[in-house]
């Protein structure tokens, strides 16, 4: 379903993020719990692309399997890094032929030494190219692909100047992005302030809040690496430290914190919540239960 139709249907979107498994065991593990995700009826799910597009083939395989074998509506990530215009044209053509309706357009990690130079220096360039692809009528939907982009409530390590960073986000919107999905964050006040700054910059498209529950100490450390610049509030760190020797308790703390974030965001009128699942259903299910819902449709009421 095109993102415009999803946004028209759902007053609040709820979405999940998956990553392409690296081996057969990972595929089996994900599809063992895929029915759990289906029962929660997300507005859509997204599939990551990996650093420099290094999971390109696996991303496409997972998107196609989700599209053809499940009730989930997949949105593939697509990055600029290490890609030529011909590469992106071929990828978009494949997705159009598979009936994929939307793309999340990202800059991705900077190319490593010796890698192929990209024809797309910035995510805004990729958004512009997708819009040009849409205009050629290759997609069965006359609107072409819906386009999502990333936003960074607490800043991006490559662009410390937050005014310049907002200019970059505005450029993506001006090139034709339909919605913004935020990087994960643990401090709602940072997200709300960033939303207000987006409005001051003239950005009016819907913004989904990225939430990742902490489920382990190792996961906490990985998050710090994954989302450079993301703040971990002292209150959260104290709660984790109190029970750091008890893995189950750490997970409960993380789920509780994420639930509180979601509740406050919903009360504040957030347009969407995007949950980073790590391909595991338990934490996402627990958050839904804590919110008092069984399916996303219960949040979709006008």
Neighbours of 26 (CB within 10 A): 14
Domain boundaries of the chain, sorted by first residue: 3-293
pLDDT digits over 188-225, tens only? 999 999 999 999 999 999 999 999 999 999 988 888 88
Mean pLDDT, range 274-301, rounded to an integer: 93
Q: Is pLDDT larger for residue 219 or for residue 242?
A: 242
Q: Number of C-alpha atoms within 13 angstroms, CB side, residue 158?
A: 8
As given in the structure block, the two tokens for residue 257 are 């914190």
CB 103 within 8 A of CB 69: no
> Is 40 within 8 Å of 284 (Cβ atoms)?
yes
| CATH of the domain spanning 3-293, picked from 3.30.530.20, 2.102.10.10, 3.60.20.10, 3.20.20.220 | 3.20.20.220
pLDDT at 265: 98
- Band of the pLDDT at 51, cuts 50, 70, 90? low
Mean pLDDT of 71-76: 97
Please check the confidence at residue 88 and state whether its pLDDT lies above 50.
yes
Residue 199 has phi, psi (to 5 degrees) of -65, -40
Q: Quick one: what percent of the chain has pLDDT higher than 70?
A: 95
Of 104-108, 129-133, 153-157, 218-222, which has the strongest mean pLDDT?
A: 129-133
The answer to whether 37 and 277 have CB atoms below 8 angstroms apart is yes
**Residues 91-111 pLDDT 10s:** 999 999 999 999 999 988 665
Q: Is 17 a catalytic residue?
A: yes
Q: Using the predicted structure, report yes or no on whether residue 113 has a pLDDT greater than 60.
A: no
Q: Which pLDDT belongs to residue 177?
A: 98
Query: pLDDT digit string (tens) for 158-190?
Result: 888 889 999 999 999 999 999 999 999 999 999
Tokens 């709300």, residue? 192
* Ramachandran angles phi, psi of 293, nearest 5°: -125, 155
Q: Which two tokens stand for residue 255?
A: 């789920």
- For 83, 109, 152, 223, 228, the CA distances from 183, given in Å and listed in that order, are 23, 14, 5, 11, 10
3-state SS of 201-219? CCCCCCEEEEECCCCCHHH
Relative to beta strand 44-47, strand 102-106 is: unpaired
In angstroms, the CA 60 to CA 4 distance is: 23
For range 239-254, the mean pLDDT: 96
Mean pLDDT within 109-122: 66
CA-based diameter of the chain, in Å? 58
Set 17, 154, 175, 251: catalytic member: 17
List all residues 6 or more positions away from 220 whose beta carbon is below 8 Å from its beta carbon: 214, 232, 240, 254
- Angstrom distance (rounded) from CA 129 to CA 78: 12
- Give the pLDDT band of residue 7 (cuts 50, 70, 90): very high
Span 13-23, average pLDDT = 95
């Amino acid at each position: 379903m095109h993102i415009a139709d999803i946004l028209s249907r759902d007053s609040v979107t709820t979405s999940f993020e998956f990553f392409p498994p690296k081996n057969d065991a990972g595929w089996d593990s994900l599809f063992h719990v895929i029915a759990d995700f289906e029962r929660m009826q997300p507005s859509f799910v997204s599939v990551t692309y990996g650093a420099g597009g290094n999971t390109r083939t696996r991303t496409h395989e997972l998107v196609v399997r989700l599209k053809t074998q499940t009730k989930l509506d997949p949105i593939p990530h697509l990055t600029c890094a290490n890609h030529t215009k011909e590469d992106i044209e071929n990828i978009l053509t494949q997705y159009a032929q598979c009936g994929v309706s939307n793309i999340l357009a990202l800059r991705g990690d900077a190319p490593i030494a010796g890698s192929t130079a990209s024809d797309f220096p910035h995510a805004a360039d990729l958004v512009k190219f997708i819009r040009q692809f849409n205009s050629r009528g290759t997609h069965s939907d006359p609107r072409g692909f819906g386009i999502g982009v990333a936003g960074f409530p607490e800043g991006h390590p490559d662009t410390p100047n937050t005014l310049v960073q907002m200019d970059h986000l505005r450029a993506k919107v001006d090139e034709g992005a339909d919605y913004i999905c935020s990087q994960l964050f643990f401090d709602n006040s940072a997200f709300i302030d960033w939303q207000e700054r987006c409005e001051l910059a003239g950005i009016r498209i819907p913004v989904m809040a990225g939430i990742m529950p902490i489920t382990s100490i190792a996961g906490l450390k990985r998050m710090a690496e994954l989302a450079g610049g993301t703040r971990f509030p002292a209150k959260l760190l104290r709660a984790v430290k109190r029970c750091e020797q008890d893995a189950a308790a750490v997970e409960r703390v993380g789920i509780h914190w994420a639930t509180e974030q979601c509740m406050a965001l919903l009360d504040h009128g957030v347009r969407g919540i995007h949950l980073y699942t790590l391909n595991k259903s338990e934490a996402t299910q627990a958050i839904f239960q804590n919110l008092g819902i069984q399916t996303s449709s219960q949040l979709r009421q006008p």
